């Protein structure tokens, strides 16, 4: 099983720092079971919004209403139309299905007495950088991997385009918006929008499409593309993703796990054991690898965060504090031999770190973490977050939190979701109303 040092763009979160270089490790394991989703793509309706925005941007360009160079701006305008419409008729939804930028949307609607400006100008965007932190930046790659957007392009696949024209265009029809003409006008020029006033017909229609219950056709389409990861030529896991979802359904429905709880380490073990009991060795092996590597990544990352709270602290005192919390015997739940067999190459020091933590050599583990952080930051052209000078820690980038978990809690740590949390949430949204 190969692992690469390049960060998976589907795993990278805008603004994330990853001081130990763990992201390519857990992402590689996660991609064995979830091939399309990312840690942030938990909203099905945001995928719907992305598809509609790309569809109408393409229509506006084809009609000569805006240029190819304005594709992104046209999309951002549709994203604003969608977000304001959803909020106007659905309120401040607090689930993962709420639109990006909902706080600014709520403020702008209240400040403008229900009227807002639809524009790609910075002062009218619904996020500090709508292109980066909105759907274009966070949902585009996952949409490509799900067969909704062409690879290497910012255009819909024929599959997605046909789905929109069959399922959404008829639902957006009203007098003055035949074939989406009113929407295209907003993408073409700077206009004001009053979703519960003069433009309430458009606002209501967009809200109904983007916030209503899923139709049977939608469930079938999104299950195939997002949950199973099996749109044409998009099965990146050889069917393991669909079987993983089916196993998650089974263990949650029979109460071995809970639909109201996010996916965690305990559920991982339950799902792995169920897959193995049913003879699905390919899925079981992939999940078992995650069960081996996650305790190492999670515990060592928390130890590193703990170090960032101890500027100018004597290293012996820090080691003593760790030993009191985690015990002299070491972290025996870490499976050093099995981890070595996984042949992780992205971070060469992981095996050494695992052996040190397993043996209770916390001083050695701290030295390894400092060396690992220095190595990772050097590769990025930056400075280490923490160093050691004459037996004392020198913290360059402080953290406000970095508590050490209780020893009893260590075996169940689940910090890196391996994209399975997103799969469970998306699947639950579609199939468990």
Confidence at residue 147, expressed as pLDDT on a 0 to 100 scale: 97
The full DSSP string for 28-42 is HHHTTT-SS--SS--
DSSP, res 224:
I
First vs last Cα of the chain: how many Å apart? 38
CA-wise closest residue to 5 among 28, 24, 19, 26? 24
CA dist., res. 178 & res. 159, Å (int): 22
Token pair listed for 96? 């993962």
Token pair listed for 203? 């606002």
Question: Over its length of 433 residues, how does the chain's per-residue pLDDT go in tens digits?
Answer: 444 334 444 454 444 589 999 999 999 999 999 999 999 999 999 999 999 999 999 999 999 999 999 999 999 999 999 999 999 988 655 555 778 898 999 999 999 899 999 999 999 999 999 999 999 999 999 999 999 999 999 999 999 999 999 999 999 999 989 999 999 999 999 899 999 999 999 999 999 999 878 999 999 999 999 999 999 989 999 999 999 999 999 999 999 999 999 999 999 999 999 999 999 999 999 999 999 999 999 999 999 999 999 999 999 999 999 999 999 999 999 999 999 999 887 788 999 999 999 999 999 999 999 999 999 999 999 999 999 999 999 999 877 667 899 999 999 999 999 999 999 999 999 998 5
Confidence at residue 346, expressed as pLDDT on a 0 to 100 scale: 75
In sign, the C-alpha dihedral spanning 108, 112, 115, 116 is negative
Place of tokens 């992205």: 346
Token pair listed for 103? 């706080």
What Cα–Cα distance (Å) separates residue 382 from each residue in 19, 307, 311, 389? Answer: 10, 19, 19, 19
Confidence at residue 99, expressed as pLDDT on a 0 to 100 scale: 84
Q: pTM for the complete prediction?
A: 0.92
Burial of 43 (0-12, 13-18, 19+ CB in 10 A): buried
CA dist., res. 203 & res. 215, Å (int): 20
CA-wise closest residue to 318 among 302, 332, 331, 306? 306
């Amino acid at each position: 099983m190969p692992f690469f040092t390049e960060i998976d763009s589907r795993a990278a979160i805008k603004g994330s720092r990853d001081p130990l270089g763990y992201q390519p490790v857990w992402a590689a394991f996660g991609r064995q079971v979830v091939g399309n989703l990312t840690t942030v793509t938990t909203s099905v309706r945001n995928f719907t919004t992305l598809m509609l925005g790309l569809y109408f941007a393409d229509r506006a360009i084809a009609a000569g209403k805006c240029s190819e160079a304005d594709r992104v701006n046209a999309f951002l305008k549709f994203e604003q139309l969608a977000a304001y419409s959803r909020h106007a008729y659905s309120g401040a939804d607090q689930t993962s299905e709420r639109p990006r930028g909902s706080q600014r949307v709520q403020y702008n609607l209240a400040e403008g007495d229900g009227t807002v400006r639809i524009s790609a100008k910075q002062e009218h965007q619904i996020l500090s950088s709508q292109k980066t932190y909105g759907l274009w930046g966070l949902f585009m790659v996952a949409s490509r991997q799900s067969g909704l957007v062409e690879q290497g392009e910012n255009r819909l696949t024929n599959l997605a385009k046909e789905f929109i024209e069959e399922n959404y265009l008829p639902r957006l029809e009203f007098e003055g918006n035949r074939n989406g003409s009113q929407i295209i006008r907003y993408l073409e020029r700077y206009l004001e929008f009053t979703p519960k006033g003069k433009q309430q017909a458009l606002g209501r229609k967009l809200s109904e499409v983007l916030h209503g219950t899923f139709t049977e056709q939608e469930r079938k389409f999104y299950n195939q593309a997002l949950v199973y990861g099996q749109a044409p030529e998009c099965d990146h896991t050889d069917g393991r993703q669909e079987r993983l979802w089916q196993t998650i359904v089974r263990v949650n429905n029979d109460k071995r796990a809970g639909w109201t709880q996010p996916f965690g380490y305990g559920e991982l073990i339950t799902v792995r054991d169920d897959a193995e009991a049913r003879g699905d060795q390919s899925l079981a092996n992939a999940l078992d690898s995650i069960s081996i590597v996650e305790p190492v990544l999670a515990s060592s990352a928390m130890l590193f965060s703990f170090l960032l709270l101890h500027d100018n602290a004597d290293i012996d005192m820090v080691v003593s504090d760790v030993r009191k919390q985690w015990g002299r015997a070491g972290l025996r739940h870490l499976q050093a031999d099995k981890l070595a067999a996984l042949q992780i190459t992205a971070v060469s020091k992981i095996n050494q770190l695992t052996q040190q933590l397993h043996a209770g050599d916390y001083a050695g583990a701290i030295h390894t973490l400092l060396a690992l952080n220095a190595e990772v930051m050097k590769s990025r052209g930056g400075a280490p977050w923490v160093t050691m000078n004459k037996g004392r820690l020198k913290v360059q980038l402080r953290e406000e939190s970095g508590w050490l978990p209780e020893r009893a809690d260590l075996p169940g740590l689940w910090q890196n979701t391996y994209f399975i949390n997103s799969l469970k949430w998306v699947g639950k949204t579609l199939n468990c109303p």
